[in-house]
Structure 1
Amino acid sequence: MDTQTSAQQAAREHHDDDHYDVVIVGAGPSGAVTAKRLVEAGFRVAVVEQGDWPDYSKARANFPDYELTLDRHWPWNPNRDVEGHGFEFDDSASTLTPLMWNGVGGSALVWAAQWQRNLPSDFRVRTLDGVADDWQLTYEDLEPFYVRVERDFGVSGLAGDPMFPAGDGPPMPPVPIREHGRRIAKAHNELGWHWWPGTNAIASRHYEHANLKACTQRAACMRGCPERAKSSPDITHWPQSLAKGVTLILRAQVRRVLMSSQGLAEGVMYTDEHGVDRSVRGDVVVLAANGIGTPRLLLLSADARHPDGLANGSGQVGRRLMMHPLGQVIGVWDDPVGTTHGVHGQQLHSLEFYETDESRGFVRGAKWGLLPSSGPLTQTRSYPWGSENAIWGPGFQDALRGRLGHSAWWAIICEDLPEDHNRVSLHTEKRDRFGDPLASIEYKTSDNSDRMLEFHLDRAVESMQAAGARQAIRGSWIKESAFHHLGTAVMGADPATSVVDGWGRAHEVPNLFIFDGSVWPTSAGMNPTATIAALALRNTEAMIAARSGQVTAS
């Protein structure tokens, strides 16, 4: 019996008269971290999730039809989810489409599993660069929680990266570096540019603590992992949490946070899979529904006391949306460089141009992750190659042979500074199947981000050329590339300008907490899951201590 089947059998049924210490909305990374730690501390916990368990019988990386069935079985645009577990949104006013997966484990089911801590400077952007806001904590505050979540998620990597403060590294060694990685590493050594073995939430060996098996290096990590080597909470967290007594309510669309006459959160209202409106009540409510779902739920929960949305006295709920503009540069070599296998995932990362250098004409920077170009269909698609680099037509076979196994790409994540006009709001006309307003996404990349991306694309071309690539192709922009959704319920010390305090507690509702990426004041230039998970664990520990009467979390 596998861990998922065991977890499903351990799940407890919820009854409407049940009362919990904590009710959590969302079973993705932040909700899973929070639930696991709370139940370990003896709390009664219920988690409400709009999706279902992932179906690993549809994880097709070990079958020839893998690339043909990606969107059918693992859609990352909820508007194309034929099973209807995701919530729809309207992105007609956005230059980027937010991508996510709704179900147990959240978007970690469809991520590349690149695991990156934020750098110390990411917590002090206002102090260092005079823009945006500082966080209400430092890297040093979060470092011990990084170590703990890396153990629980089963992260592979190598301690000692000179870009980071000294400290403990991941529990497993890094994944093997293949020929394309070795060539890039050699080139960066000659250029004097930073590189380091990639840190990934992918098991480089069997890792029993998180129920992970060793990666078989198929370079097909993004949409379900049939080997169960990629860390996602349905594998790493939920079996233990359910065995300890967490109640997990699935196929349940949360539509309102319920409020008492005293101004406290007392649970949530949801509609179940049969269309029946139900509720789950508790002493504390934690929102972990991502940077789109959380602000939408707060806005849907408006009442007479909170006419502009719950916890929105500052007017900041939904504003400051950051989605990390993504760029790519593909290198093509004359000879094979081992890119039909590996992790996807990152072989290496580079932070050479991460910190601000004002001479470049912008502030902040970007992280690069080196990825294999994978299977044959990927060589023909607009992402990452760019529609202007299509290979269809005469010479197709030769062009395909020239790319397959001969190409790799730098994925470039640019820091996205917060701007009020980039936001999530409630659509004035469009409704979902329950009659609630859709989330409306309004977003445009800033001039700072545009200049940053151009600079980094130019440098990544130089990297590929220095590594001997015969071609270095700047992949074109595509709309469906926003995997990270941050900043829409910002933390801060002043209730007039922020939604939650530094511990994720809503200024206006003292027993309502937000533990996902919504609370980020700035986006960093890193893959965010490591910091989302570490921050959720830190804030959960503070909640446990406060509820136990040991210390206060303020």
Structure 2
Amino acid sequence: MQPDVVIIGSGMGGATLAAALAPSGRRILILERGEALKPSPADRDARAIFADGVFRPDEMWLDGSDQAFNPGNFYNVGGNSKFYGAVLIRYREADFSPIEHRGGSTPGWPIAYEELEPDYLAAEHLYEVRGTTGEDPTDPARSGAYLHAPVRDEPDIAQLRQRLKASGLNPASLPLGVDIDRWLAAGRHPWDGHPDTCGGKMDAETIGLKTALEHPNVDLWTGCQVSSLQANVDGRITGVSCTLEGEERTIDAGTVVLSAGAVQSAALLLASASELYPKGLANRSDQVGRNFMNHNCSAVLALHPLRKNRAIYQKTLMINDFYLSDGKGGAPLGNIQLLGKISAPILDGTTPLPRWLAVMLAARSFDFYAMSEDLPNPESRVTLKNGQIKLDWQRSNWATHEALVQQLKTCLRKAGFPIVLSRAFDRRTPSHQCGTARMGRDPALSVVDTYCRSHDHPNLFIVDASVLPTSAAVNPALTIAALALRAGRHITDTEFAA
């Protein structure tokens, strides 16, 4: 098949774009380096997933000090979304404008929230988001309602919601892409961080790819490793070099879409350097790989020695009382949401706690995820060193995150939890990586335009978390999906118009 469109990567961006383009009838080829996940005993084995890392890639990157580490990204059909917490939340309206933080300011977006709102709604409907309105004071304006009610609180979480309300907070239902009955039918375990092999999560494979592959003009090649792109003197991408079943191939296409994720997309553009493009493709601005962001995140465990938490999945609440300010008129702090329920095998396998204490804590803990914005910095970047990925993450805005964790601890003690513990996530835990091919209107300062088209190459689009100008302080999956729908409409109207 000679494709009209080649999409590199089957995660949230690539899969959603494929679903958007499929009705056009154009020939679409999706290239995925990994394979589809198959059901296995490890799917619901917390020790295997979190302590033994059985699903982690056999790959090493370098950090800013040239020390090797094993990244926590996943390479499989559906990408990282197969393991995600299924939180499908919109950026808040304020996130699209410059914001002053304790650690600096954000640049804002080249588009307003209102321009993306119809695509947010379409993405919520496509991914069958379970949610409600009227609970969260930061909930942005919307043109339509959720089609499904929120995932139900378990009894102990319903009591937690009441405790949080009584303490003066505004807990709201998390917008989730989870069919809870289907998920629990395959095993009574949390979904957060667990692979989806039962179709219980509304992930990129379950929804985006399934929708796209219902059309006969869409094909998916798995086990296909893309090594570089070629471009001619006019800037057009002329070939995609890849290896499939041990055979090297070059694929021609009218339109090429890069959706390999914030690190891998940048690395592929840099690896495509040539005599014509010595700094790599799409890199006239020297911004490819720069402005890498990764949320500042901590796990916060709230306990009462005489009260147990019998929740199975737990993850149904969020708190945004400190999202737009610190509650006292100061700079924003971030988002708080429940984690998937922490279990004894997770604590036992990832901390130095003795087994008996891990069991006791896990039985009583209510587990929160505190998330603060990481600010764009051109020196926080992805580069290549002798062909190996080097990720020099320059963490920013950490004082803001410390303040958020402290504020949460204070609130939880007020809500009746005398013991509150916290632990920051380290570099091995990817927390919504983004920003390495930023969107903007000025080709000298950005990599793609507001429709995710490369400024330098008219038939190249980048549709994944790379293009996000800011990380905000909420999960990015829905924003990526919305941008993919926007890009898909633009491609249909421009590239397919003839």
Normalised to the residue count of structure 2, the TM-score between the two structures is: 0.91
For residue 147 of structure 1, the aligned residue among 92, 96, 121 is 121
CA deviations over 1:407-449 (Å, ceiling 9, x no partner): 112101110100011000011x3xxxxxxx0111001212xx2
The answer to whether the Cα contact below 8 Å between 1:26 and 1:49 also exists between their aligned partners in 2 is: yes
Shift of the alpha carbon at 1:48?
Answer: 0.9
Larger mean CA deviation between 490-499 and 120-129 belongs to: 120-129
- The amino acid that maps onto 2:353 is I
Asked if 2 retains the 8 angstrom alpha-carbon contact of 1:204 and 1:215, the reply is no
1:170–1:358 distance in 2 versus 1, CA, 3 Å: closer
5 Å-filtered alignment, 1:47-196, equals: 47-58=30-41, 60-61=43-44, 66-70=45-49, 75=54, 77-78=56-57, 81=58, 88-91=60-63, 93=65, 98-125=71-98, 131-160=105-134, 161-167=136-142, 168-196=144-172
Aligned to 1:533: 481
Written as runs of structure 1 = structure 2, the 5 A alignment for 1:465-484 is 465-484=413-432
Q: Which residue of 1 aligns with 2:319?
A: 350
Q: Who is 1:24 aligned against?
A: 7
Aligned equivalents of 2:459, 2:13: Cα separation in 1: 18
The answer to whether 1:413 aligns with 2:371 is yes
2:452 is matched with which residue?
504
Q: Which residue of 2 aligns with 1:240?
A: 211
* 1:317 matched to 2:267: no
Q: Is the 8 A contact 1:333 1:471 kept in 2?
A: yes
CA separation in 1, counterparts of 2:139 and 2:327? 22
Give a deviation string over 1:69-105, Cα, whole Å, max 9, x none: 2269975643xx3xxxxx6422353899753211110
User: Which residue number in structure 1 is paired with residue 189 of structure 2?
Assistant: 218
Mapped contact 1:99–1:483 kept (Cα < 8 A): no
Q: How does 1:195-344 map onto structure 2 within 5 Å?
A: 195-204=171-180, 218-245=189-216, 246-274=218-246, 276-343=247-314
Structure 2 gaps of 5+ residues are: none
CA distance 1:230–1:301, shift in 2 (3 Å): same
Q: Structure 1, unaligned stretches of length 5 or more?
A: 1-17, 82-86, 207-211, 430-436
Work out the number of aligned pairs and report it: 493
Would you say the 8 A contact 1:325–1:482 is kept in 2? no
Structure-1 separation of matches of 2:320 and 2:99? 20
SS of 1:469's equivalent in the other structure is coil
| Distance across 2 between alignment mates of 1:92 and 1:46 | 36
Deviation at 1:216, TM superposition (A): 6.4
When residues 128 and 443 of structure 1 are mapped into structure 2, their CA distance, relative to the original with a 3 A threshold, is closer
Whether the aligned pair in 1 keeps the contact of 2:167 and 2:415 (CA below 8 Å) is: no
- Which residue in 1 is equivalent to 2:362? 404
Q: Distance in 2 between matches of 1:152 and 1:214?
A: 23
Percent identity over paired residues = 28
The CA deviation at 1:133 is: 1.8
8 Å Cα contact 1:326/1:481 also seen in 2:
no
Structure 1 residues 103 and 445, CA gap change in structure 2 (3 angstroms): same
Q: What do the CA deviations read for 1:360-397 (whole angstroms, capped 9, x no partner)? A: 87x44311111253332123244xxxx5xx431xxx53
Contact preservation (8 Å) 2:60, 2:70 = no
User: Scaled by the length of structure 1, what TM-score is found?
Assistant: 0.83
What is the one-letter code of the residue matched to 1:439? I
Query: Whole-Å Cα distance in 2 between the matches of residues 459 and 127 of structure 1?
Result: 19
Do structure 1's residue 378 and structure 2's residue 346 form an aligned pair? yes
Aligned equivalent of 2:462: 514
The aligned counterpart of 1:425 is 383
Between 150-159 and 112-121, the greater mean CA deviation after superposition: 150-159
Q: Given the superposition, is the C-alpha separation of residues 141 and 544 from structure 1 closer, same or farther in structure 2, using an over 3 Å criterion?
A: same
Secondary structure at 1:237 match in 2: helix
CA contact under 8 A between 2:333 and 2:403: conserved in structure 1?
Answer: no
Distance 1:221 1:131 in 2: 31
The answer (yes or no) to whether the contact 1:499–1:506 under 8 Å persists in 2 is yes
How far apart in 1 are the matches of 2:416 and 2:327? 30
- The 3 A distance-change label for structure 1 pair 236 and 270 is same
Deviation at 1:241, TM superposition (A): 1.9
- Retained in 2: the 8 A contact 1:500–1:506? yes
What is the CA RMSD across the aligned residues, in angstroms?
Answer: 2.7
Separation in 2 of the partners of 1:72 and 1:347? 24
The whole-number CA distance in structure 2 between the counterparts of 1:546 and 1:126 is 34
- Greater mean alpha carbon deviation, residues 168-177 or residues 292-301: 168-177
- Does the aligned pair in 1 maintain the 2:259–2:462 contact within 8 Å? yes
* CA spacing shift, 1:153–1:315, aligned 2, 3 Å: same
In the TM superposition, what is the alpha-carbon distance from 1:190 to its structure 2 partner?
2.8
- Distance between the aligned counterparts of 1:127 and 1:478, measured in 2? 25
SS for the counterpart of 1:410 is strand
Q: Aligned partner of 2:375: which letter?
A: L
Q: Following TM superposition, by how much is the alpha carbon of 1:165 offset from its aligned partner in structure 2, in angstroms?
A: 2.8
Q: Tell me whether 468-477 or 493-502 shows the greater mean CA deviation.
A: 468-477
**Cα gap change, 1:324 to 1:400, in 2 (>3 Å):** closer
Amino acid at match of 2:8: V
Picking from 438, 442, 452, the partner of 2:400 is 452
CA 1:243/1:535 → structure 2, altered by over 3 Å: closer, same or farther?
same
